[in-house]
Amino acid sequence: MDDGAIDLKRAAREAAYNMPLADIDPSDPELFRNDTMWPYFERLRKEDPVHWSTSPEAEIGGYWSITKYNDIMAVDTNHEAFSSEPTIVLPDPDADFTLPMFIAMDQPKHDEQRKTVSPAVSPVQLMNLEPVIRERAGAILDSLPIGEEFNWVDKVSIELTTMTLATLFDFPWEDRRKLTRWSDVATAAPNSGLFSSDDPEIAKAEGRAELFECVDYFLRLWNERVNAPPQPDLISMLAHGESTRNMDRMEYLGNLILLIVGGNDTTRNSITGSILALSQNPEQERLLRADHSLIPAMVSETIRWQTPLAYMRRTALKDVELGGKTIKKGDKVAMWYVSGNRDEEVIERPNDFWIQRPRVRQHLSFGFGIHRCVGNRLAELQLKIIWEEILKRFPKIEVMGPPRRVPSSFVKGYEYLPVVIPSRT
């Protein structure tokens, strides 16, 4: 870590502990862009684990921050008291642009729609996908330049996950990077740099226009597949599924965004996170390279350490007592997975990247209860395969500078990670 990064973290710690507790707002995307949110969450876990936060963003307003592991579990598994509707993110949806999706639905509709798409990531399907993913991972790695700096995020993480997502959708191969773009647009802040202007209204309009392009593209694929025999791809499943075949345009778009972001953003950021974590913890990399049987444990530890989705929102359906506070009916509640995964009272050495960690699968990154990530095994599989193939080829991957992180408090990810591969094995 360079002197500038150390100074930034020291300043963040001082700010986190010196400001009035009531002023702490973990939803500030700059905390995530600069990777300085950790002392704020640490203080909340210690002093106010069920914390009323007030965001200056009008569409967020006041909300509860839940920062300890067991409190998050209590909310995530209590579907009678905490609803996923109308959305899983803190900003309320605009009345004229609401995107229903099954992760933001309650039972029974949630269960029916989830059941429609879950066969795409069944154990049998994963077994069939594994050799395909392995072949593609190998081809991607074999194409990388040796001795030249490049962006790992673009060349590897995005490419592998977008290929896999295109296969799940049976999406036109030559257009697969559209999936990456739509995923980024769906979760981007106005000042993300993705749009022509940082003006929130202009950025919002541009984002909506691109998402309408997304649904129009997928409607063409829907129309082809609804008139053909059912196939094991996600579009055909949705088109023929009893609970999804009558979706309107906006619900179709909502479920598409869920599947695209869930299948793309999270896995690609864990792949990049694994490169960064091992670079920052060389003793752990030495252990991994000496014993490849540690790959599955490294995968789970990466997913905990990275926590690719920082939080999920719920909305209280009734008054609930939690941590000595009363959460009122209608209040927003943010379950900060990123904080729960560093809870000192539950997880040993929580700030360490430790691939020999006991109970290494004990983390919150996939959520719990009925909304547990439907594609969690596919995410783990891709990360496992890419590292099996990396270790066959490269004795070292050198990180050449700090990552550029996504300015988002929801998607905890990376835009850029400069690396050099000095040689092949």
Tens of pLDDT, residues 218-255: 999 999 999 999 999 999 999 999 999 999 999 999 99
Question: What is the sign, positive or negative, of the torsion defined by CA atoms of 341, 346, 350, 353?
Answer: negative
> CA-based diameter of the chain, in Å?
63
309 DSSP assignment: B
Selection from 238, 191, 181 nearest residue 211 by Cα: 181
- The confidence band for 369, taking pLDDT boundaries of 50, 70 and 90, is confident
Q: Is the pLDDT of residue 4 over 80?
A: no
Q: Where exactly does CATH 1.10.630.10 map onto the chain?
A: 88-317+382-391+410-425
The number of beta carbons lying within 10 Å of the beta carbon of residue 425 is 9
Q: What is the pLDDT of residues 258-301, one digit of tens each?
A: 999 988 878 999 999 999 999 999 999 999 999 999 999 999 99
Per-residue pLDDT reduced to its tens digit, 112-162: 989 999 999 999 999 999 999 999 999 999 999 999 999 999 999 999 999
Q: Range with the lowest mean pLDDT among 92-106, 177-191, 193-207, 284-298?
A: 92-106
Q: What is the DSSP string of 147-215?
A: SS-EEHIIIIIIHHHHHHHHHHHT--GGGTHHHHHHHHHHH--TTSSSSS---HHHHHHHHHHHHHHHH
Whole-angstrom Cα distance, residue 116 to residue 101? 13
Question: Structurally, what CATH architecture does the domain formed by 88-317+382-391+410-425 represent?
Answer: Orthogonal Bundle (1.10)
Q: Using an 8 Å Cβ cutoff, are 113 and 244 in contact?
A: yes
